[in-house]
């Protein structure tokens, strides 16, 4: 496959901070997203991942710092502005209606029409054909696009949401914890589609708390803890073991291991007769 990676950042985050009253949700966060690459944002609950997502999606404006698209500073005035600029966000709830068909959800809010004026109507035939084509192009095998989306597995729903964002012209695809509630096989399915989106030239932002999901697909890793950056690394600058240690908190784990070892040595069963 042709190498679509671009040395120039598609999206840059420079020194972004966000405050809610006295609460520092993000503090001086910087990273970059390149076309044809995956930038993984890792952090535990409360790390600032959700605030960063909403800042990139146009929900929040940064109090300090800049967002740059194609090297030009931008100010996102809302989610629609972000979408118009090619920044699409797939949230955990996927913005899908379970009882509607796959193809109906695929075009939710952007329905193709035929006719004009009072005779304009939803072009169902075009919608069905387009869904089949776009899912096939992403390597997604859905048994029947007419089936309710609620009958799909979690991984299948995520894959449809990714294909939908790609079809709508996303250049930057932000994925909010897409593997968090999935089993091993379903998570592997989603990771495969993340790679497919990357290989189609998108800049992907993969939000996750799982370094074992992030490392195989990631090209860059931003680690957050309580709104602050623990580091922004290219893949050749960090190993999975180090990523896991930073993510989990090396000092906390070492202290816990020490306490557990002390408790084991103090237990009655561990004392041998003299």
pLDDT of residue 273: 47
**Cβ(206)–Cβ(175) under 8 Å?**
yes
pTM of the model: 0.83
pLDDT digits (tens, 9 = 90+) for 144-194: 889 999 998 888 888 888 888 988 889 999 999 988 878 888 889 899 999
**Cβ(11)–Cβ(87) under 8 Å?**
yes
The residue that leads in pLDDT, 11 or 256, is 11
**Cβ(180)–Cβ(208) under 8 Å?**
yes
Q: Which of 136-145, 191-200, 215-224, 246-255 shows the lowest mean pLDDT across its residues? A: 246-255
- Residue 86, domain member (yes or no): yes
pLDDT of residue 274: 46
* Total structural domains within the chain: 1
pLDDT interval class at 212 (50, 70, 90): very high
Give percent of the chain with pLDDT exceeding 90: 50
pLDDT of residue 38: 97
- Residue 2, domain member (yes or no): no
- Residue 197, domain member (yes or no): yes
pLDDT interval class at 2 (50, 70, 90): very low
- Residue 255, domain member (yes or no): no
Q: Domain of 210?
A: 11-99+170-238
Cα dist from 204 to 28, 173, 273, whole Å: 21, 5, 61
- pLDDT for residue 250 is more than 60: no
Give percent of the chain with pLDDT exceeding 70: 88
- pLDDT for residue 272 is more than 70: no
pLDDT digits (tens, 9 = 90+) for 113-143: 777 877 788 888 888 889 888 888 878 877 8
pLDDT interval class at 1 (50, 70, 90): very low
- Residue 129, domain member (yes or no): no
- pLDDT for residue 270 is more than 60: no
- Residue 67, domain member (yes or no): yes
**Nearest CA among 215, 202, 217 for reference residue 6:** 202
- Residue 151, domain member (yes or no): no
pLDDT of residue 258: 59
Q: What is the CATH number of the domain that holds 207?
A: 3.40.50.300
**Nearest CA among 72, 131, 82 for reference residue 102:** 131
- Residue 161, domain member (yes or no): no
Contacts of 244 (CB under 8 A, 6+ apart): 211, 212
């Amino acid at each position: 496959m042709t190498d679509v990676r671009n040395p120039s950042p598609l999206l840059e985050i420079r020194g972004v901070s966000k405050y809610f009253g006295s609460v520092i949700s993000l503090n001086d966060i910087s990273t970059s997203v390149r076309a044809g690459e995956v930038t993984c944002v890792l952090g535990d609950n409360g790390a600032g991942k959700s605030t960063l997502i909403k800042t990139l999606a146009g929900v929040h404006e940064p109090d300090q710092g800049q967002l740059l698209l194609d090297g030009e500073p931008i100010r996102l005035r809302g989610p629609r502005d972000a979408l118009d600029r090619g920044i699409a966000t797939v949230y955990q709830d996927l913005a899908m209606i379970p009882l509607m068909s796959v193809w109906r959800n695929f075009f939710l809010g952007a329905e193709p029409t035929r006719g004009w004026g009072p005779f304009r109507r939803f072009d169902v035939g075009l919608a069905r054909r387009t869904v089949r084509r776009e899912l096939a192009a992403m390597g997604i095998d859905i048994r029947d696009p007419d089936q309710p989306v609620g009958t799909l597995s979690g991984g299948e729903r995520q894959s449809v949401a990714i294909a939908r964002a790609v079809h709508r012209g996303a250049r930057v695809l932000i994925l909010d914890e897409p593997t968090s509630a999935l089993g091993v096989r379903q998570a592997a399915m989603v990771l495969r589609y993340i790679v497919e989106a990357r290989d189609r030239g998108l800049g992907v932002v993969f939000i996750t708390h799982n370094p074992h999901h992030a490392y195989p697909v990631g090209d860059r890793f931003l680690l957050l803890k309580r709104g602050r950056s623990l580091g922004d690394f290219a893949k050749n600058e960090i190993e999975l073991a180090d990523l896991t240690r930073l993510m989990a908190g090396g000092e906390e784990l070492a202290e816990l291991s020490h306490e557990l070892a002390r408790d084991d040595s103090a237990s009655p069963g561990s004392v041998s007769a003299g």
